[in-house]
Amino acid sequence: MSSPSSDSSTPRGEAWVWFTGLGLIVGLGMVIGLLALVVLNGISVFWAPPVPVVQVDDGRTIIGQLAQRRIRPGSLASDPRYELQFQVGLRELNGNSYLWVDEAKLKGEVFPADILGLERVENGPAFLRPLTLKRADGQEVPVTSPAFSESFQQEVAAAGATREKLVELTRHRIGDVNSEMEAARIALRRAEDRGQADEVAEQRKLIATLEARFADLRTEAQGVAQRGEVAKLLGRDAAGREVTVPLSQIVRGWFPNQLDTWGRVRLFFSRLHEFIFDEPREANTEGGLMPAIFGTLVMTVFMSLLVTPFGVITAIYLREYAQQGPILRIVRISVNNLAGVPSIVFGVFGLGFFVYVLGGSIDQLFFSDQLKYNNNTPVFGTGGLLWCSLTLALMTLPVVIVATEEALAAVPRGMREASLAAGASKWQTIREILLPASAPGILTGVILAMARGAGEVAPLMLVGVVKLAPTLPVDAVAPFLHLDRKFMHLGFHVYDLGFQSPDSDAARPMVFATTLLLIILVVCLNLGAIWVRNRLRARFKGASF
Amino acid sequence: METSDKKPTETPAAESRFTVSPITLLADLWMGRLIRFGGLGVVLAVFGMLAFLVLQVFPLFVGARVEALPALTVPASAVAFGEDEYGELPYVVLADGTIHFQRGSDGAKVQEWSPALVGRTVTAVRSYPRAGLVFLGLSDGAVLEAKVSYRATFDAGGKRALQPIVTPLEPVQVGSPGLPCLGVWNAKGAQSRLLVVRQESAGRPKLSAVRITERKGLGGKARVTASAPFAVAPELSDLEQVLLPSTADSLLVVTGTGEVRAYSDDGVGMPLLQVFRPFADAADARISAAGLVFGHVSVVLVGQTGVHQVWSIYPQAQPDGRSLRRWGKIHDPEKLPGPAVGIFAAEGNKCYLVGAGGELQLRNMTTDTLRWQGPAPAGRVAQVAFAGNYDRFTALTVDGKLHRWKLEDHHPDSSWGAFFGKIWYEGATEPAYTWQSSSGSDEFEAKYSLVPLFYGTVKGTFYALLFALPIALTAAVYVSQFLRPEYRQIVKPVMEVMASLPSVVLGFLAGLWLAPLVDPHLVSLFCALGVLTPAALGAGFLWSALPQPWRRQVRPGMEFVWLLPFIALCCWLAWQAGPSIEAAFFTVKDTASGAPLADFREWWRQTTGMSYDSRNCLVVGFVMGFAVIPIIFTIAEDALSNVPQSLISGSLALGASRWQTVWSVVIPTAISGIVSAVMIGFGRAIGETMIVVMATGNTAVMEFNPFSGMRTLSANIAVELPEAAAGHTHFRALFLGACCLFLLTFVINTLAEVLRQRLRERYKVV
């Protein structure tokens, strides 16, 4: 396409070629910029920077980690004035974990080595200068002692183990007793209603034993909790006030100004591990995301289990069985166009049909007892995992159908005819020739469907995603997969934390980290699909694909 | 395959190795059936989805169903009635004040209560069925109030029986002593109660009122104080009808000359506020019937010819420039067949029954629609009341019949006009398209206009496409026609990754990161955006002007690499220039201090009078670009790169430059594909939900201001559906929105698909 003539005049319209190049630059810039923004912000959440002691003009002293720098609201672009946001922690003392400081009023900052950062179970983080550690065995270790750091970490680990024990006690054992008690109460109400006297007596007895067990467990839990209260950390905050933090409250402690790079990396991975494998704390603004990750995965997998067979069967029907003609063309266009219907419409359909009509009927048919004796609490007649998966399956159905149809169409005609000529039946041809040959294409479609399903939030808001689910949709209690349970979802987590959180400053790092995780999940699924498709293309290079 | 099927039957003697195993045949048969069944099922389910949505919306457009129940015969002297919640035990009040309870099922008399009147007689009766209150105006100008309540009792067999209880209060002297009451009215407002009686002296009507205030004492015991009787409307010479709104702070009087006189409480008395003659232009200006509609801020008036108007109280500009709440006409419903015999409002919604020309009409005031029409009972109607939860109404006629109707009207507030029309709502100063689905008050007129939502949808889509179209299309042209193929392998997946970014992430970044960031730098941003095009074109011209050896440095298809630093530099310079430009062009006086202020936001507010929100359309448009650009890009790029190479080669061979080839051969050939790409992008932008929910204020305003927010159909559903009660009008209105979205995107995508198929045909011909 180089200039046809050899003279030095420029071909006409070259400037416009450059102009079209602009679109590419802006488009690529947008994607790369966005990804970079999310990755940087998401990763920096886990990184522990040095923590300064800051002197402000108005006489305040602040110990805190720098969170943001921004133009002061109301300040003009021509005369920008900046302010810094410090995460100072100790919410119970300061009222707020975050402080804005006018940049012009900063007098100076120093990085003393003795500053201790704490992540706590309640009231957010804390930054303080430790004085003494009161150990569980009653010994006191002053900060000046060389053993301070080591024994502090030991005590934190011990407190963590105690906390885990408590969680095991309260969440699992007491929770089990609670759910048994709930079932017994429903049985009792039913028996009372039906006038079965012996059954009533039996259920009453059961409830009494359960209550006794409940009381025992609670005493045990209180005992464990009290023993954990012994170990304490004494310190001073920026203003010089004495602060006492029970070690049972401390999740993690670190000396941000003493850490070497390796220490920071270890801290980074420790936090990352917590983020992925632990449960959320503090109204979801801290701790981990395990329930949301798990919920997203279970929902996506369940959705793809639903969508794959239906999508593939429909595609085979449309391509191999249905009478080709104008009607089929209309059907095909309609199915394709379903992919362009807004996701919220599927949510509306899911709520109206799946939840109210289907779920309502299931409740009437199979759970009428539950409804009657449990204050009309619906089982399937409310949002839940099953309805979410079905709604998203319906939404992603066209993706799978189109991908499968294309893959089937790409199988060379010769292969199909050879199979039939060799005496294979139609089904045998499909099973042995068409499906294996189009498997990568189908897989691409399924992966794309999963990617779309995993990132979708709007319909899920209507059919069963919640901000905090007490239980996972899969657990060790029969029937193991609880289709009626509400669950947590990464995308909804982003929406909820970003927009419904009472403390948006505290939620901000978590939203960025969640966003990063969600994007990694979705982008990986997409790249996987692209990779599979490229392999497929290479394989059928000779064919008309 | 057919041959292999038939072979065994035709030649039974064939060798067994030629016969097909029955298992294979069975599997083939059943899998075929399964696939047919499954495939058809899924296709039907897809169409069933639309059918379901339509089915959910359908009840919105169904009128009321009314079924007449057998009438009860009551004593002929009955003048008023009331009933319990389920109509089991209705009562009538006779002219002498006796309350007569009859069983609703068979009309058998159950109980009777008579007032204890010492030397006085009952001269006026009024019953308020919903409150269970009966007011008896006495011959000496006093008013006796009786409260009717019911107690449910269960006998040994668990059968429920209703027991009526009548509790009379002490008579209150309201009118002038000695004159009989000719009419009595009661209204219970938020603070106090107003009792009004009508008397007559020397042929002139005389209205008197008493205000009764009930204060809860510290001990919980109510202390009732009644004001001294005061005269209302002493100037009246004739009087047809008195309307006492339940707010108890005003009074409407309809006179025989067709005047409506409004009196309003000013704390001392009730002076005249306003006089209006609704039918002054008609040949007969008299008013045949008037009635207040639920909420009691609107009055329905019917003239002698059946002309029909609704007046409401709303702020009106006065000649002196003040804005005062005055009565004004808000609706002109269609003419009735004749003068009305009465107007009877429903409770809980804005419907009313009107009897005219031997017919009963159930009409909705807000939407001006006729919900039901049927024959009126034979006798003259004394009182009509709606009962229960707007599921029954009852009429008492003077011939001693209690006519009862069963009413089924689940969505009285809905109609085409309610969803798509401009409606003058109560209290509003002009007709408007409004979406406001809930409010703190029960008497609130639900406003379900989908128009502002459509407007918001179109507005958001417009700004999204404004931004996305140039980028997506130019990128598609460049990538498909000019970019070196090895880079194309990278660019396309990157664009696909862009398409897969979850919209909740984009919404979060738009609302919480971009909006506050852009806010102070608006002018800089505009400068940077504005400089993009000239910079790119300038770079092109600059390069064209270079001598050829220099030009050779830029290999074809690699222009973007050279363009990138140049563009970045230009944008940076423009960004830096932003504050000076803002200072030069957008300086206004600070409203507070009067000092000059170089602030675009303030300038925009003062110059255009429009609002400025930090979460505005431009932010949404920009971020929606992430969702729309990759879609348009992918489809347009496909269409462009599928243009047959022979056409391009031919054009180049004839001496056209590469741009001339693209502009006059490639783009015209692929134009239907490009249009289809734009339409599909449009469809995606219409339905985008999370970005709009998170990055705008979600206010349903109707202005095209780029610096304000909007509320789109999809965002509206996402925000309101979780709170809407299933089956309620609001719920179904949201389904209607979803239906519209479905149809809109479906039609657009179908058109796009048809266009694309036409393009494919064209390539075939070429």
What are the pLDDT digits (tens) for A199-219? 888 888 888 898 998 888 888
Question: Cα–Cα distances in Å, from B122 out to B45, B131, B181?
Answer: 68, 21, 8
Given this model, what pLDDT does residue A467 score?
82
Cα separation, A233 vs B577, whole angstroms:
54
CATH 1.10.3720.10-classified regions of chain A = 290-539
A334 closest CB neighbour out of B46, B471, B481: B46
Identify all chain B residues contacting A85, using CB atoms and an 8 Å cutoff. Answer: none
Identify all chain A residues contacting B746, using CB atoms and an 8 Å cutoff. Answer: 334, 337, 340-341
Q: What is the DSSP letter of A76?
A: B
Cβ under 8 Å to B: A residues 505-524: 508, 511, 515, 518-519, 522-523
Identify all chain B residues contacting A451, using CB atoms and an 8 Å cutoff. Answer: 500
Cβ under 8 Å to B: A residues 335-374: 335-338, 340-345, 347-349, 351-353, 356
Give the number of residues written for chain A.
Answer: 545
Across the interface, whether the CB atoms of B745 and A397 are under 8 A apart is answered no
Per-residue pLDDT of B55-65, as tens digits, reads 999 999 988 89
Contact (Cβ atoms closer than 8 angstroms) between residue A440 and residue A532: yes
Identify all chain A residues contacting B4, using CB atoms and an 8 Å cutoff. Answer: 423, 425
Cα separation, A139 vs A156, whole angstroms:
15
Across the interface, whether the CB atoms of A19 and B533 are under 8 A apart is answered yes
Instruction: Assign domain B451-522+614-765 one CATH number from 1.20.1630.10, 3.20.20.70, 2.40.160.20, 1.10.3720.10.
Output: 1.10.3720.10
Query: Chain B residue closest to A360 (CA)?
Result: B726
pTM here is 0.89
A76 closest CB neighbour out of B497, B520, B658: B520
Task: Name the CATH superfamily, with its identifier, for domain A290-539.
Answer: MetI-like (1.10.3720.10)
Across the interface, whether the CB atoms of B508 and A498 are under 8 A apart is answered yes
A523 closest CB neighbour out of B497, B714, B749: B497
Per-residue pLDDT of B325-384, as tens digits, reads 889 999 989 888 888 888 999 888 889 999 888 889 999 998 888 999 988 888 888 889
Do B451-522+614-765 and B279-376+412-435 fall under one CATH topology?
no
Across the interface, whether the CB atoms of A24 and B579 are under 8 A apart is answered no
Across the interface, whether the CB atoms of A515 and B508 are under 8 A apart is answered yes
Across the interface, whether the CB atoms of A316 and B493 are under 8 A apart is answered no
Across the interface, whether the CB atoms of A349 and B717 are under 8 A apart is answered no
Identify all chain A residues contacting B580, using CB atoms and an 8 Å cutoff. Answer: 78
CATH class held by domain B279-376+412-435: mainly beta
How many CA within 13 A on the CB side of residue B135? 23
Asked if the bond preceding B177 is cis, omega within 30° of 0, the reply is: no
Cα separation, B485 vs B573, whole angstroms:
33
**What is the pairing mode between strands B133-138 and B142-154?**
antiparallel
Per-residue pLDDT of A238-258, as tens digits, reads 888 888 888 888 888 888 888
Identify all chain A residues contacting B563, using CB atoms and an 8 Å cutoff. Answer: 18, 21-22, 25
Region A137-156: mean pLDDT is 85
Mean per-residue pLDDT of chain B = 86
Cβ under 8 Å to B: A residues 216-235: none
Across the interface, whether the CB atoms of A27 and B633 are under 8 A apart is answered yes
Instruction: Assign domain A132-252 one CATH number from 2.10.25, 3.30.1380, 1.20.81, 1.10.3470.
Output: 1.20.81
Mean per-residue pLDDT of chain A = 85
Per-residue pLDDT of B236-253, as tens digits, reads 888 888 999 888 888 999
Q: Which of B690, B692, B739 has the highest number of chain A CBs within 10 A, making it the mutation to test binding with A?
A: B690
Q: What percent of chain A has pLDDT over 70?
A: 96
Identify which has the larger pLDDT, B633 or B14.
Answer: B633
Cα separation, A302 vs A306, whole angstroms:
6
Query: Chain A residue closest to B36 (CA)?
Result: A317
What b/e readout covers B125-158, taking b as 16+ CB neighbours within 10 angstroms? bbbbbeebbbbbbbbbbbbbbbebebeeeeeeee
Kindly tell me the burial class for residue B611, based on how many C-beta atoms sit within 10 Å of its own C-beta (0-12, 13-18, 19 or more): middle
pLDDT at A543 over 50: no
Across the interface, whether the CB atoms of A20 and B475 are under 8 A apart is answered yes
Q: What percent of chain A has pLDDT over 90?
A: 16
Cα separation, B317 vs B329, whole angstroms:
14
Given this model, what pLDDT does residue B12 score?
53
**Would you give the distance in Å from CA B543 to the centre of its chain?**
57
Question: With an 8 Å Cβ cutoff, is A458 touching chain B?
Answer: yes
Per-residue pLDDT of A105-120, as tens digits, reads 888 888 888 888 988 8
CATH 1.20.81-classified regions of chain A = 132-252
Question: Cα–Cα distances in Å, from B574 out to A510, B517, B585?
Answer: 35, 17, 15
B219 — pLDDT class (breaks 50, 70, 90): low
Q: Which residues contact A503 (CB under 8 A, 6 or more apart)?
A: A97, A283, A285
Which residue type, as a one-letter code, is found at position A305? Answer: L
Domain boundaries, chain B: 2-60, 67-169+379-408, 279-376+412-435, 451-522+614-765
Size of interface A-B (CB pairs under 8 A): 360
B217 — pLDDT class (breaks 50, 70, 90): low
CA distance A61 to chain B (A): 28
Identify all chain B residues contacting A16, using CB atoms and an 8 Å cutoff. Answer: 537, 540, 659, 663
Question: With an 8 Å Cβ cutoff, is A316 touching chain B?
Answer: yes
CA distance A45 to chain B (A): 16
Identify all chain A residues contacting B761, using CB atoms and an 8 Å cutoff. Answer: none
Backbone phi and psi for residue A373, each to the nearest 5 degrees, phi listed first = -105, 5
